Amino acid sequence: GAASLTAAVSGTPAAQAAVAPVTAPQLVPLPQEMSLRSGQSFTLSADTRIVAAQGALAVAQQLAAVLRPSTGYALPVSTGAPQPGTLALALDGATSLGDEGYTLESGSTGVVVRAHTAHGAFNGVQTLRQLLPAWVESPTVRPGPWTVPGVSITDEPRFGYRGAMLDIARHFQTVDTVKRIIDEISMYKINTLHLHLADDQGWRIAINGRPELTTIGAQFGIDNSPGGYWTQAEYVDVVQYAASRFVTIVPEIDTPGHTNAAIMAYADIHPDINCSANKPPRWNLSGDVGYSALCPDSPNTWALLTDVINQLSALTPGPYYHIGGDEVPTTILTQQQYADFINREAPIVGAAGKIVMGWNEISEGDFGQPGMPQGVVQFWGTGGTGSGGDSARRAVQKGMKVVMSPADRAYVDQKYVTSRTTNPNGPVTPIGLNWACPRGCDVDTAYNWDPATLVPARTTSTGEVLPAVTESDVIGVEGALWSETVKNLSDAEYLYFPRLPAIAELGWSPAGVPGRTFDEFKVRLAAQGARWTAMGVNFYPSPLVPWR
Ligand code: TNX
């Protein structure tokens, strides 16, 4: 349980009074190794300084920016080595902990985070925040005391890709909203934000030389909600802000389906790009899926996609470009036409210097064959079975890597509690869809699965053996927030929290680490609730979690 540790409880009443009670660490994601240094703690004071290696100075400034408003302390930041009485970020950590690993030692002499990259130091700082009382996240001065319990932590992630997806196509979101989301998700060591930048209801990013995409394509959102788009400067601003929090942006322009906004943008000047069921095309601002498609044979399709891929790739420092690829019925494009489309698009992405990412359907393409770039599928099937599972299995047969986003586990756009649920607890979730979670998907469902064993091997009816998706095929996990029902920041927060931290822990903490169970996770999660309250982050107070 969430026991409170009281340091140095023995001794005289005076000695007891001199030692602040400290709280047992309640960390999400769970570190790989942690031991408590009993009787030791460090309490911040008005004299506490932050020292950092040159390469971690920006991270140290971010730490100071979190701690100053609530503590009211000056917390000056300077370059330097760890000294007694400081919060220190050192870059002499073991390279064996990888680019994201760190150690954290706290005790009576202070706190030292050691990493060998700034990203590792940032991860250690997120842990340090959670070692302090929850109200350290408050924007206004609080009484403290600001005591860090004595711990010794050695930590590194299980997977390198720990993502969140945000759909800004259905409901448009501003740059400021997305920056705030980056702050909130990076606290849980999420290192990737996948932005779904275009769909049937709207196109959300300016492309030079193609004004129609935004003047026409960005006018609306789902259900006639306000449209909008980002200029390229705004996109770069988001990319840079994300980078400062060690979050990599993955841009997605969904193709060949989910493209009605682009088709509408070009309805007058390039009507030949429209291979939809929607002919002549008209706006459909409902949540319908599976009706739109770009034409594989139109040169205008390829001129358009080449501009889009080249420009977005040039603005994106991360390794991935996501081509979508989901939900194109064979009644619109035959299986061969679809495969040919992927086979033509993927090399354009490769030539732009990016790894091709797409929903699992893209494994229809000739990945692994000469001329095709490296590919990653994002598995969105349910239960690891069925055609979604087969397409993930085909992907690994073709040498592709996999990001796991099973819809019935990791689609955080689904309701926690549905009208059809038998769960008597809690109200029916006011927003969210339910196709993947007809009985609701609460935080236990988001937590209780394993990315490396969900998709087992399968023998098809023709005797073909499709391999399992195993640990070495999986590069990570992603919680996906589609935005049919997500109007604003508060809605996004309500669906992300507390489920995204569950996904973050699956991505970070190896399955075998003691404490990596839902029963212990829910106690650690409970401690996050007070942080979200202090920060003004909306969340679903799941009845499964012993919030305090
Ligand atoms: C299916 S998942 C879609 C999206 C919807 C989502 C809603 C996927 C690759 N495609 O277009 O927004 O369901 O949950």
Question: 184, 234, 252, 327: which one is catalytic?
Answer: 327
Ligand 1 atom at minimal distance to the Cα of residue 407: 2
Q: How many whole angstroms from 456 Cα to the centroid of ligand 1?
A: 23
- Would you list the domain boundaries of the chain? 4-155, 161-511
**Whose alpha carbon is nearest atom 8 of ligand 1?**
326
**Whose alpha carbon is nearest atom 7 of ligand 1?**
482
Identical topology for domains 4-155 and 161-511: no
Query: Exposure of 159 by Cβ count < 10 A (0-12 exposed, 13-18 middle, 19+ buried)?
Result: buried
Region for residue 86 given its phi and psi (left: phi exceeds 0; alpha: psi -120 to 50; beta: otherwise): beta
161-511 topology per CATH? TIM Barrel (3.20.20)
Q: How many whole angstroms from 359 Cα to the centroid of ligand 1?
A: 10
**Whose alpha carbon is nearest atom 2 of ligand 1?**
380
Instruction: Evaluate: CB of 155 within 6 angstroms of ligand 1.
Output: no
In this structure, are residues 474 and 511 in contact, taking their beta carbons and an 8 Å threshold? no
The per-residue pLDDT string of the chain (548 residues; one tens digit each, 9 = 90 and over) reads 233 333 333 333 333 334 444 568 999 999 999 999 999 999 999 999 999 999 999 999 999 999 999 999 999 999 999 999 999 999 998 899 999 999 999 999 999 999 999 999 999 999 999 999 999 999 999 999 999 999 999 999 999 999 999 999 999 999 999 999 999 999 999 999 999 999 999 999 999 999 999 999 999 999 999 999 999 999 999 999 999 999 999 999 999 999 999 999 999 999 999 999 999 999 999 999 999 999 999 999 999 999 999 999 999 999 999 999 999 999 999 999 999 999 999 999 999 999 999 999 999 999 999 999 999 999 999 876 666 789 999 999 999 999 999 999 999 999 999 976 666 667 899 999 999 999 999 999 999 999 999 999 999 889 999 999 999 999 999 999 999 999 999 999 999 999 999 999 999 999 999 999 999 999 999 999 999 999 999 999 999 999 98
Instruction: Evaluate: CB of 19 within 6 angstroms of ligand 1.
Output: no
3-class SS of residue 310: helix
Q: How many whole angstroms from 501 Cα to the centroid of ligand 1?
A: 21
State the complex-level ipTM. 0.93
Residues 6+ apart with CB under 8 A from 341: 255, 256, 294, 296, 333
Q: Tokens 């959102």 correspond to what residue?
A: 221
**Whose alpha carbon is nearest atom 10 of ligand 1?**
326
CA distance 200 to 263: 9
Q: Which CATH number fits domain 4-155: 3.40.630.30, 3.30.379.10, 3.90.1150.10, 3.60.60.10?
A: 3.30.379.10
Q: Output the CA–CA distances (angstroms, integers) from residue 422 to 407, 417, 435, 438, in the order listed.
A: 20, 9, 16, 10
- φ and ψ of 4, to 5 deg: -90, 130
Instruction: Evaluate: CB of 291 within 6 angstroms of ligand 1.
Output: no
Let me know if 156 is a catalytic residue: no
Instruction: Evaluate: CB of 379 within 6 angstroms of ligand 1.
Output: no
